[in-house]
Amino acid sequence: MTDKHYLFIDSGARPGGNSETLARRAAAALPPSAVQTWIRLADHPLPPFQDVRHAPDGAYAMPEGAGRRLMDATLAATDLVFVVPLYWYSIPAAAKLYLDHWSGWMRVPGVDFLARLAPKTAWAVSVLSDEDQSVADPLVGTLRLSARYCKMRWGGALLGYGNRPGDVLADAGALARADRFFAA
């Protein structure tokens, strides 16, 4: 059996934020054989996405720079963990831009991006500043439906509560769920 490789895609605006803290708690419970790669999207800024599907040539070139690093990291992993604080009831702009770039990567000749995504599992870890977790439904739906579109398995969403930095550490229920999140 191939070892698991988890790519943690952190789209938070603050290093060490509550969502990252909760994701790191969940990651600590992974088996020692599991490879973990952590990427902060803020450290790999992507250019605005340009949709050229309907342009005269309609061709997407192989991405360069941050786009190539992110595409390669995405394809190298067996599991994609979206570390996404709830911003305005949805995913942060950096995560949305990353997903927008998937639209181009799936059209780069020879990459077979969609076919290579299909066997992967997508997960979400999010901390919100509302005790009503249903307010995260749009965020979870965005990621779950994106995974479904790509024929990926949906592993689930780990949600916690926190407003100020470190608040999630007081959410005993979220911490307990984190300890067994990837075992599901």
- Taking only the tens place, the pLDDT of each residue in 61-101 is 999 999 999 999 999 999 999 999 999 999 999 999 999 99
Q: With H, G, I as helix, E, B as strand and everything else as coil, classify residue 183.
A: helix
What integer pLDDT is reported at residue 42 of this predicted model? 97
Residue 47 sits in a domain whose CATH number is 3.40.50.360
- 14-35 pLDDT tens trace: 999 999 999 999 999 999 999 9
- Contacting residues for 170 by C-beta, under 8 A, at least 6 apart: 162
What integer pLDDT is reported at residue 184 of this predicted model? 65
What integer pLDDT is reported at residue 55 of this predicted model? 82
Residue 29: how many other CB atoms lie within 10 Å? 13
Number of domains forming the structure of the chain: 1
Give the integer Cα–Cα distance in Å for 166 and 164: 6
Domain around 63: 5-183
For tokens 């870890």, what's the residue? 125
Q: For residues 131-159, give the mean pLDDT.
A: 97
